[in-house]
Structure 1
Amino acid sequence: MKKRNFRLIFMTILIFIMTTALTFAQEVDVAAQNAAKFGIWTLVPPIVAISLAFITKNVIVSLVLGIMSGGFILNIMGNNPFMAIFYSFLDLIQRAVNSLADPWNAGIILQVLAIGGVINLVGKMGGAKAIAEALSKRAKSAKSAQIITWVAGLLVFFDDYANSLIIGPMMRPVTDKMKISRERLAFIIDATAAPVAGIAIISTWIGLEVGLIGSAFDSIGVDANPFGVFLSTIPFRFYNILILGFIVITALLLKDFGPMRKAELECRKGSSNISSNEDANKELSKHDDMEPLPGVKLSIWNAIIPIGALIVGALFAFYYSGYTTIMGGEDSAVIQIMKNSPASFDAIKEAFSNADASVALFQSALFAGIVAMVMGAFKKIFTLSEALDIWVDGMKTLVITGVILICAWSLSSVIKELGTAKYLIQLLSGALPPFILPSLIFVLGAIISFATGTSYGTMGILMPLAIPLSYSINPEMSYIIVATSAVLTGAIFGDHCSPISDTTILSSMGAGCNHIDHVRTQMPYSIFVAVITIVFGYIPAGFGLPVYLVLPLAFVAMFIGIQIFGKSVEVEDINGKEVLDN
């Protein structure tokens, strides 16, 4: 009897092991099998998404149809085309539901919405406007006015829309007084909007970026902390960093080139600097959700305290999240570090690298929202009931971000199941030199983003392809990080100079500048910095040159380029005296 029981137990265990192994193998090989089965058809979903984004200029429609095209391919076998379309629609819904059901994804969506609520509260309390006005009072010359505008753009780091809507109207009277062209003001606003928000550790962008990074790493089976990867990409976000440096260098040298120099010279000579585009001003008022409530006494503390609560809360939330993860794990060496010296640099580094960014950021955003509500109610700016309405209203502005995220995750899911990345790897891994991939990703991201006017959608389309492809070419994390940064940076470059980008439009409106004039004068600057980004940034980084050498090299190259192409915007008056702003 005992022998029989032993045999039964043995056979049960054996069958379980074999079944588990077969199931695991099937899950692992589904993408490879589909890549072999469908071949070039696996490229259809991203191609559909990209092509329709060019045609329709609507990223959500493009992503949805891209997802459905993948579902159609997966369901066409054994079904007629009409049933395949029906099943692809059901597949779309299921993938969207699965995306939201994932705790990480749900946390990302919640923190994006919560940060939107905090930003709206800060705006209605007059905090953001107070900071901009305080800075504008310090502008005493053309140089200082431009630098102050740049600093203000850095301080409004949490949202690109907020930057465009706040900085432009506040600095416009100052720059007009200092005879700085509206085109130059629009450029500074635009160049400190998406480029700053895209690399800010706490912003309305980080949820999207971290979410896409996490999904892409999951697709290649690499256990990486998405927030840690995001932090690692920041030094390699060459375009973002260089365009900020470009503003400072040209402002201090008072040198410009191309159409911008012509606009600056005309303004210095006293030509009209006022936009006659009344429609643009009307449109700006529609978008101006950051205007304080009537009768609010402006105070910089109305911004410093809530945003400070957001930052400090995030630091504590990251540490606590990482600490609990480590203490619940099995790494005895790290556990001892946390026990023996919990406040040491090593302990903090380990805690942050093990933290759940989606939960930590949501916790800190919720805490900051509560602080802002209580503060506003205490100062009698609004009641708690009104504060809740303002908070929810701020969330509404970022619902579109959540929709794009869900669509992007769903597209990533169907691309993964079809084996698109595996097919591309087979196609390109042997023929593509490793050093050129980051540059190609940057260029492709720039083209898509420029044509569509959205960096969000571009990131959602490219990230699921770029990370697996870079991993197949060179599995070293440093190389993958460079490729990842190229996706994020290329998308921002295209968005920055695209005439149909929201931030480009809002920047021209905020500056009171004709939109076409803004695009025309900004384009040469953006392209110049993009060329420096590729030649002196991503190509050397692709060869493995450390970033502490690449960035200084890129800055030197940019400075030399400005000296070669740039010319002074100083003019002489009738008596031959120079009109200088020093």
Structure 2
Amino acid sequence: MLSLFGGIVLGTFILNDFSLLSSLENLFSLFASLLREAWILKTLAFAILVGSIMALIEKSGGIEGFVDYMLHKTKIVKSARSALILSYIVGVIIFVESSITALISGAVGKPLCDKYKIPSAKLAFVCDSTSAPISSLIVLNGWGALLLGLIATQISLGIIEADAVSLLIDSILYNFYSMAALVVTFAAIWFNIDLGAMKNAKYIPKETDIVQSNGASMFYMLLPIILMVIFVFVFLYLTGEGNILKGSGSSSIFYTMLCTLIFTLFYFVGTKNMSFMTWSKTAYLGAKKLTPIALILLFAFGIGEITTELKTGHYLASLADENLSIYLLAGMIFLISSVISFSTGTSWGTFSIMIPVAVPMAVAMDANIALCIGAVISGGIFGDHCSPISDTTIISSMAADCEVIEHVKTQMPYALISGAISLVLFVVFSFIS
């Protein structure tokens, strides 16, 4: 929080020529404007509501029931590897929204990781490395809507002549980082490969101030999670006025968590799993526990605004010389997108900055347009994975109950391997195309 806030203050001073009064005024205006944005408020509320719901699920005893079922009544999970593989599979199956993917993957994996004493950093790595990559590969979600809109804008401006949907599908085939990240993550789980800081990651028993197991049915865990998935689709459909691709991601996850919280009230209290007072207290304690995460998210959004005003992305993009070899163009776009995404903590913001830059460059140099768009998508996700101020990084840490900086340090070697593979593939496919 101190690092993020310090970055915001320094950026504000630079924007205001180091005038103290102007900087303080703009700093106040920045946070006022952020808190007026509905999508930001909904995202912050989402983080707090997650804390309530997870605490309630733990308190209900549904997690212990789920663990008991998976360990003793089925043969699916019988080792540390199979526990992480289950979280991986959940992360791949649930592609509707990256935050929900990380949350549910963490919720399913956390009790099993506790059983086998798996470090929370490993679970956070699995949550993060499946959420954004799978959401950007199976684009029946907000990711697809954003990318489709950005590509359609380039078509409407007359920069390219193509069908937006076909071009989006072609560019997804060149989303090498997401594919590499999924393969590297699976290999790391299957062969128990610990690299860098992950070698020193330790299992820390979680605090039991909220959780008091009563050995209840696993459905106290499964039903709220299943409803989350269903509600996201429903609210994407409703907010998109019948078109899931046009639905609001922030509104959908907020309404999803609110409805799930209300469901737990009727379900847990109605079945006499807990009293209303117990439900209220547990929900409050869970929300309180994750309030600092909401504050980190707010500061992350703030520094993203500052770097946008400083035109960090446009400056970095301008460093790419138009006379650059066509064979290195896609690789350079991937690297620039990675740096922008890392610096700003947002893959979506990177897409918005770099697609309008990359497409005209590709057209001018007669390069493969789909390959260059794929480089933007890959670079945006790669930088986002490595960034400690990314919302997906923060939410994945939250889902696995892991410190954000520990998650960043332990995930970095795997992300760098996937990034190196992607860079080589972009150069190779530039020659092929």
The one-character-per-residue Cα deviations of 1:454-475 (angstroms, maximum 9, x if unpaired) are: xxx8615x76566424422315
**2:292 is equivalent to residue 354 of structure 1:** no
Aligned counterpart, 1:474:
359
Aligned counterpart, 1:72:
16
Structure 2, unaligned stretches of length 5 or more?
92-100, 136-140, 157-167, 363-368
Amino acid at match of 1:473: A
**2:29 is equivalent to residue 94 of structure 1:** yes
Shift of 1:297: 2.1
**2:177 is equivalent to residue 285 of structure 1:** no
Aligned counterpart, 1:114:
49
The one-character-per-residue Cα deviations of 1:353-392 (angstroms, maximum 9, x if unpaired) are: 2222222222221111111121111232322233233333
- 3-state SS, counterpart of residue 371 of structure 1: helix
The one-character-per-residue Cα deviations of 1:274-321 (angstroms, maximum 9, x if unpaired) are: x9x9xx66x5434x67x73x2422322112111112111222212122
Q: Does the CA-based 8 Å contact 1:321-1:356 persist in structure 2? A: yes
**2:383 is equivalent to residue 490 of structure 1:** yes
Aligned counterpart, 2:217:
299
Aligned counterpart, 1:399:
291
- 3-state SS, counterpart of residue 428 of structure 1: coil
Normalising by structure 2, what TM-score? 0.67
Aligned counterpart, 1:372:
264
Q: Does the CA-based 8 Å contact 1:126-1:297 persist in structure 2? A: yes
Structure 2 CA distance for aligned equivalents of residues 399 and 222 of structure 1: 43
Match 2:329 to one of 404, 422, 434: 434
Normalising by structure 1, what TM-score? 0.52
Structure 2 CA distance for aligned equivalents of residues 506 and 116 of structure 1: 9
Structure 2 CA distance for aligned equivalents of residues 397 and 232 of structure 1: 43
**2:424 is equivalent to residue 532 of structure 1:** no
Structure 1 CA distance for aligned equivalents of residues 431 and 46 of structure 2: 37
Structure 1 or 2, whichever has the larger Rg, is 1
Q: Does the CA-based 8 Å contact 1:99-1:105 persist in structure 2? A: yes
Structure 1 CA distance for aligned equivalents of residues 384 and 412 of structure 2: 15
Structural RMSD (CA): 4.9
- The alpha-carbon distance between structure 1 residues 305 and 445, as it changes in their structure 2 partners (threshold 3 A), is same
Structure 1 CA distance for aligned equivalents of residues 221 and 262 of structure 2: 14
Match 2:128 to one of 194, 208, 214: 194
Aligned counterpart, 1:345:
none
Within a 5 Å distance, the mapping from 1:497-508 to structure 2 comes to none
Amino acid at match of 1:61: F
- The alpha-carbon distance between structure 1 residues 104 and 440, as it changes in their structure 2 partners (threshold 3 A), is same
Shift of 1:145: 5.4
Aligned counterpart, 2:228:
310
- 3-state SS, counterpart of residue 192 of structure 1: helix
Identity of aligned residues (%): 14
Within a 5 Å distance, the mapping from 1:401-480 to structure 2 comes to 401-428=293-320, 430=322, 434-441=329-336, 444=339, 459-460=345-346, 464=349, 467-474=352-359, 479-480=372-373
Amino acid at match of 2:383: G
Aligned counterpart, 1:381:
273
Structure 2 CA distance for aligned equivalents of residues 404 and 509 of structure 1: 14
Aligned counterpart, 1:61:
5
Aligned length: 381
Shift of 1:245: 3.4
The one-character-per-residue Cα deviations of 1:102-150 (angstroms, maximum 9, x if unpaired) are: 22333333333333332232222233343344333445898x7523431
Shift of 1:394: 2.8
Amino acid at match of 1:483: V
- The alpha-carbon distance between structure 1 residues 70 and 543, as it changes in their structure 2 partners (threshold 3 A), is farther
Shift of 1:91: 0.3
